[in-house]
Amino acid sequence: MQEFSRYAVYYAPPEGPLARFGAQWLGWDAAAGAEVAQPEKTGLDMRAITKAPRAYGFHGTIKPPFRLAEGQSAAALEAALAEFCAGAAPVVLEGLTLAQIGSFLALVPEGDATPLAALAGQAVQALDRFRAQPGPEELARRRGAGLTPRQDALLLRWGYPYVMEEFRFHLTLTGKLAPPQAEAAEAVLRQELEGLLPRPFPIDALCLFGEGAEDGRFRLICRFPLGAGQEGGARAR
């Protein structure tokens, strides 16, 4: 049985063209728990530019990775996520679009993403009892990124600085890139993504992911439809 060191709640596209694209682009299929051959792209070192997001799989973060609190179990976390999803309504975005965030490339929402931010905030709160407090080393590492006072307060309260009003949904496609790399990668991605991003774009399920204790790779554990009832959860192992 796979042992997990951390857990996270992500949006991950269901099986289909977009999910296959994400797995091939990053070189890691979180649903299958397996490496995938990446496409060769002229002028791009695919292994290098996707190294940072590869371990996490193709996803949009809802509740960031956390270690289980003492006295909690993965089974209880899974049940709580199922219950949360059963009572939460799906969110429909106008669409997703490719954008540069700082020095990396990602898919971000088009139009009003307030309902999705609200869903993420509710998930962070509802599942907070399962989260172990970050240790001094993690706090120092997070603070090394230059947090605002509000982000630091969120880090102390929720274990991560980019939640609640600081939340920005995105599906990461590259690590940090120099400007020439970013320009080249963006040109390739715009071609790759043509026709892959439905409009409107539904967020109709949330997924429980686990970080492999041995390899540090995140894997899909369970997928639960939003608003469909606890019995409707489709499990993936």
pLDDT tens-digit readout, 86-139 = 999 999 999 999 999 999 999 999 999 999 999 999 999 999 999 999 999 999
The interaxial angle of helices 136-143 and 149-158, nearest 10 deg, is: 150
> 62 and 89 in contact (C-beta within 8 Å)?
no
Residue 15: pLDDT band (50, 70, 90) is very high
Domain borders along the chain are 4-235
pLDDT more than 90, % of the chain: 93
Model pLDDT, residue 111: 95
The span from the CA of 149 to the CA of 152, in Å, is 5
Model pLDDT, residue 236: 40
Model pLDDT, residue 80: 98
> 29 and 236 in contact (C-beta within 8 Å)?
no
> 110 and 92 in contact (C-beta within 8 Å)?
no
Residue 229: pLDDT band (50, 70, 90) is low
Query: Mean pLDDT in the chain?
Result: 94
Q: Is the pLDDT of residue 235 over 50?
A: no
> 27 and 37 in contact (C-beta within 8 Å)?
yes
Q: Give the model confidence (pLDDT) of 156-171 as tens digits.
A: 999 999 999 999 999 9
Q: Is the pLDDT of residue 177 over 70?
A: yes
CATH 3.90.1140.10 fits 4-235, yes or no: yes
